[in-house]
Chain A
């Protein structure tokens, strides 16, 4: 991306550097603060915690095992589902695809409740037929729930990978080979790098989660971190205890980073969109059925639970009527986070695409906050921003926005990087020739070309922010709460009907925002394609 880097003081370069600085302040400053603060505290507070031994080593192994299994199985299942949904571009099925992606908003507790209820019913049936019951507990249960909970994230990443496949390669392959060979010899190898990215992200999200394993009595390292936080109330010792997780993150990110380099950094240049998506091969109908089965279970079971416990439309209205303030606040936080994430994420994405050795390092640094337990993000932000000089920011809406930026901006970087690389290079070269100045070319060619990426990142950040709890709880301004905070409050009270109603409301709001984004994307793509066809016609 050399088009906008003409001189050290050029507007493009300055803008890029400003974006990187904001990215650095938002993402890395809290992390650096935690590391430095821990480093300067008495060594006996944190040194013994750096190297897990005995019981802690066992817990770390448990976490790695769980992360490994979820990442492998989750990526495999997500690949099948993404492949199934790839052809669902129009009509009702395209909405099902969106609904599936929105399932990331359903709390893990609802998945657990859904699966627990399903197995209870199954056990009743088995008992009535004098058959042995199946106990839904322990590792197997934790793995199933965690996998189902994170499946939309993995599938979303893989769908993004499908979007960035070179259509010329696929269409050429389809001329010479049946669809089965196209899948095995072209699509699978081309998407392998993005599968690694998906596996890496799933691994990270699993090892920092304690909620699902603890529901099924599986002890993990993150639970130990929470116990340490409860016992010591000392962020330094918690940071030290989290360091092994961060260290594990580095090789995982190098592994997934290599995937990024081959997928995003060195793609074949292409300038068209794949119109005829290869059909699912006849020989793989069993896999198609498996994918459909998993998709139905992932979406259907929690939705059934939500509908069953919500009861009626009246109950749903009752649930949301007392929560307008929280709904409004959640919308503000989610929208602002999504909008503020885009400019710095754009700079970070461009940095990631720089063809230099530092791109792997940049990828590691970008994704490192994903391995940080959410409460630690909140504590770091309090330490950084809670001063009399910054009181205007601290205690305002900006704090949950900053927390969610730190937690989710890495994913926006990934999405934007994919879309930047999809820009037709001819446009950029033309802009180089005809632009009045860099800003002119940037605003008229570069930015409009990545609008679909902006919208996709906006939607993802919106959805994830709407569901964030751990960090938001620590920095939410007094007198305000997000809808997710209210859901967890009612969860404790046992108001399953209200919880289900609020979950439905959260999904509905995000679904509507997602639909709005999809419509904007559709309008924009049509407008862009129309212009492209016009230019091509003029050329000929």
Chain B
């Protein structure tokens, strides 16, 4: 009897899982759905997508990227799926990987009506991608470990001897937005000067950690005095009441790098019409406002008449760098910086 009972339990488990198995995957891919791959953090993206579902009646099936996968996650999935695309839309937290997908032939042109009031430098001339919103690359300082007069005001201050190297941190500049920042610096300063900056950081012995969120955590809990990270990471620490402050570097020099989020329509995706609707929504001023309010972006590309809580009242001077030119430096950046940082 006991043995029969065990068999019944095991069979029940199989039936349970199989019955649920039918509930996900193909059968949900109805005509009124859209498949989105996104590297925007789930905590920010989910409410936006829920509202899209409510207003449009289109079910969004999202796949979220994680920082721990470095940049080998969804972008490589999209490239691998190119011959039989499963996604309709790619919503990227930055721009470099979106341009890469255009080069790889993963995207198809779509000129969204929502881009009418977006500056030209954030729209691909051929219509493969467009961007809005903006996160800034900032220096996060621990206010308990540093006096205001000692706060850095330039990313080049990270090289100053007055700041102990083991108390300064950056994420690996081979992945994510730190790689994007490196590419932007290569484009702005020239490859040699860009390389020498990152080389000097490494030679100085600053802490190179696993990701921007780790930089944020280490500054927040006092293991670092300061570190380079993104504003969305920093805002999370500020809202958590941590003793940190955002410094927008190089305001009287080259400006702070602002990284917009970007969208692209996947070529041959299963729901192109719904995909276009979703892109229209994601690039709209309404979403830009919402995502600004959520704390993911701190800069708007349109005059929306709203102010970010943690931004300087004078605004932020943006680093004048062409997105495509920055992207073109990315291969060189990864090739050179891995020689320096992974050894």
In the complex, what distance in Å separates the CA atom of A223 from the CA atom of B83?
29
Decide if A335 touches B342 in the complex (CB within 8 Å).
no
Known pairs A233-B75, A388-B84, A473-B73; A488 contacts B17 (CB<8 A) = no
The answer to whether A527 and B84 have CB atoms under 8 Å apart is no
**Residues 72-85 of chain B, each 1 if its beta carbon lies under 8 Å from chain A, else 0:** 11111101110110
Chain B residues whose C-beta falls within 8 Å of the C-beta of A469 in the assembled complex: 66, 68-69
CB <8 Å contact, B342 and A494: no
Contact B70 A226 (CB under 8 A): yes
Cα separation A217 to B18 with both chains bound (whole Å)? 44
Q: Is B86 an interface residue (CB 8 A)?
A: yes
Asked whether A229 and B76 contact (CB < 8 A) given A470-B69, A489-B66, A490-B43, the answer is: yes
Contact A335 to B16, CB < 8 A, known contacts A59-B343, A397-B24:
yes
Bin chain B's interface residue count.
35 or more
Q: How far is the CA of A336 from the CA of B62 in the complex (A)?
A: 23
Whether the pair A492, B211 counts as a contact (CB closer than 8 A) is: yes
Closest B residue to A477 using CB positions: B25
Q: Helix, strand, loop or mixed for chain A's interface? A: helix
A329 at the interface (CB under 8 A from B): yes
Most B CB atoms within 10 A — which of A379, A388, A478? A478
The residue among A59, A383, A491 with the most chain B CB atoms within 10 A of its own CB is A491
B213 within 8 Å of A by Cβ?
yes
With contacts A375-B69, A485-B66 taken as known, whether A474 is within 8 angstroms of B343 at the C-beta atoms is no
| A129 proximal to B (CB < 8 A) | no
A378 at the interface (CB under 8 A from B): yes
Q: Shortest distance in angstroms between B48's beta carbon and chain A's nearest beta carbon?
A: 15
A282 at the interface (CB under 8 A from B): no
Which residue from chain B places its CB closest to the CB of A224 in the assembled complex?
B342
Q: Does A201 contact B (CB under 8 A)?
A: no
CB A307 to nearest CB in B, in angstroms, measures 18
- Verify if A396 is at the interface (C-beta below 8 Å from B): yes
Q: Which of B10, B214, B342 has the most CB of A within 10 A?
A: B342
Cα distance A469–B236 in the bound complex, in angstroms: 24
* A394 located at the interface, meaning its Cβ lies under 8 Å from any Cβ of chain B in the complex: yes
Contact at A478–B35, with CB atoms within 8 Å?
yes
Within 8 A of B (CB), among A370-406: 375, 378-379, 382-383, 386-388, 391-392, 394-398
Q: Which residue of A lies closest to B334 (CB)?
A: A231
Flag if B72 contacts A375 (CB, 8 Å): yes
Which chain B residues border A394 with CB–CB below 8 Å? Answer: 84, 86
Q: Shortest beta-carbon distance, A372 to chain B, in Å?
A: 14
**Which chain B residues border A116 with CB–CB below 8 Å?**
223
Known pairs A383-B80, A395-B86, A524-B3; A488 contacts B25 (CB<8 A): no
Tell me if B254 counts as interface (CB < 8 A to partner A): no
A80 to B8, CA, bound (A): 39
Which chain A residues border B217 with CB–CB below 8 Å?
494, 496
Name the CB-closest residue of B to A470.
B69
CB pair B6–A215 under 8 Å, yes or no, is no
**CA–CA, A339 and B61, complex, Å:** 27
Q: Mark B1-28, 1 if CB is under 8 A from A, else 0.
A: 0110110011001101110110011101
Whether, in the assembled complex, B143 has its beta carbon less than 8 Å from a beta carbon of chain A, the answer is no
Contact B79 A233 (CB under 8 A): yes
A332 close to B3 (CB less than 8 A): no
Whether the Cβ atoms of B70 and A492 lie closer than 8 Å is no
Min CB distance B75 to A, Å, is: 7
Q: Which of A461-518 contact B (CB under 8 A)?
A: 469-470, 473-481, 485-486, 488-496
Contact present for B6 and A395 (CB under 8 Å): no
Enumerate chain A residues within 8 angstroms of B79, measured Cβ to Cβ: 233
In the complex, chain B residues whose CB is within 8 Å of the CB of A523 = 2, 5-6
The contact string, 1 if C-beta is below 8 Å from chain A, for chain B 107-130, is: 000000000000000000000000
Would you call B102 an interface residue if the criterion is a C-beta within 8 Å of the partner chain's C-beta atoms?
no
Contact A494 B213 (CB under 8 A): yes
Contact A329 B64, beta carbon cutoff 8 Å: no
Cβ of A251 within 8 Å of any chain B Cβ, yes or no, is: no
Cβ of B80 and Cβ of A382 under 8 Å apart?
Answer: yes
Query: Which A residue's beta carbon lies closest to that of B175?
Result: A230
Name which residue of chain A comes closest to B85, CB basis: A386
Interface centre among A59, A211, A397, A476 (most CB of B within 10 A): A397
A233 touches B9 (CB 8 A): no
Q: Given the complex, which residues of A lie within 8 Å of B61, measured CB to CB?
A: 477-479
Residues A217 and B21 in contact in the complex (CB < 8 Å), given A335-B16, A339-B13, A481-B63: no
* Pair B3/A448 contact, Cβ less than 8 Å: yes
Residues of B within 8 A of A492 (CB): 41, 66-68, 211, 213, 233
Instruction: Give min CB distance, B232 to chain A, whole Å.
Output: 8
A58 within 8 A of partner (CB): yes
A493 CA / B296 CA spacing, docked (Å): 10
B276-300 residues with Cβ-Cβ distance < 8 A to A are none
Instruction: Report if B100 contacts A (CB, 8 A).
Output: yes
Contact of B21 among A382, A395, A397, A496 (CB under 8 A): A397
Taking a contact as CB atoms under 8 Å apart, the answer to whether A494 and B233 are in contact is yes
Cα of A489 to Cα of B236 in the assembled complex, Å: 13
Report if A339-B72 is in contact (Cβ < 8 Å); known contacts: A386-B81, A493-B213, A494-B213: no
Residue of B nearest to A59 (CB): B342
Determine whether A343 belongs to the interface, using a CB cutoff of 8 Å to chain B. Answer: no
Is B311 at the interface (CB under 8 A from chain A)? no
Q: Does B314 contact A (CB under 8 A)?
A: no
B65 near A: Cβ within 8 Å? yes
Bound complex: CA A54 to CA B10 (Å): 54
**Inter-subunit contact A230/B213 (CB<8 Å):** no
Which residues of A are found within 8 Å of B81, using beta-carbon distances? 382, 386
Q: Are A215 and B25 in contact (CB under 8 A)?
A: no
Q: Which residues of B contact A219 (CB under 8 A)?
A: 341-343
A328 CB–B CB distance under 8 Å:
yes
CA distance A506 to B69 in the complex (A): 20
A518–B52 alpha-carbon span in the complex (Å)? 46
B26 near A479: Cβ-Cβ < 8 Å: no
Distance to closest chain B CB from A388 (angstroms): 6
Residues of B within 8 A of A490 (CB): 43
Check: B29 CB closer than 8 A to any chain A CB.
yes
B185 at the interface (CB under 8 A from A): no
**Docked-complex contact A474 and B77, CB < 8 angstroms:** yes
CB <8 Å contact, B17 and A331: yes
Do B17 and A229 touch across chains, with their CB atoms under 8 A apart? no
**Which residues from A are CB-within-8-Å of B25?**
395-398, 477, 480
Inter-chain contact B210/A211, CB cutoff 8 Å:
yes
- Could you tell me if A479 and B213 are in contact, using CB atoms closer than 8 angstroms? no
Residues A491 and B67 in contact, CB atoms below 8 Å apart: yes
- The interface residues of chain A lying within 8 Å CB-to-CB of B209 are 214-215, 217
CB distance from A144 to the nearest CB of B (A): 17
Nearest neighbor of B80 in chain A, beta-carbon distance? A382
Known: A491-B213, A493-B236, A494-B240. A226 touches B72 (CB 8 A): yes
Find out whether the CB atom of B87 lies under 8 angstroms from the CB atom of A235. Answer: no
Q: A478-B36, A491-B213 are in contact. List 8 more A-B contacts (CB 8 A).
A: A116-B223, A120-B223, A227-B334, A396-B26, A479-B59, A493-B43, A494-B217, A520-B9
Q: Which 9 A-B pairs have the closest CB atoms?
A: A479-B61, A396-B25, A478-B61, A488-B66, A231-B334, A382-B80, A494-B236, A492-B67, A478-B35
Q: Could you list some 18 contacts between A and B, CB below 8 A?
A: A211-B68, A215-B209, A215-B210, A230-B179, A332-B17, A335-B16, A375-B69, A398-B25, A451-B6, A473-B66, A478-B29, A478-B36, A478-B86, A481-B63, A490-B43, A492-B233, A495-B43, A495-B236
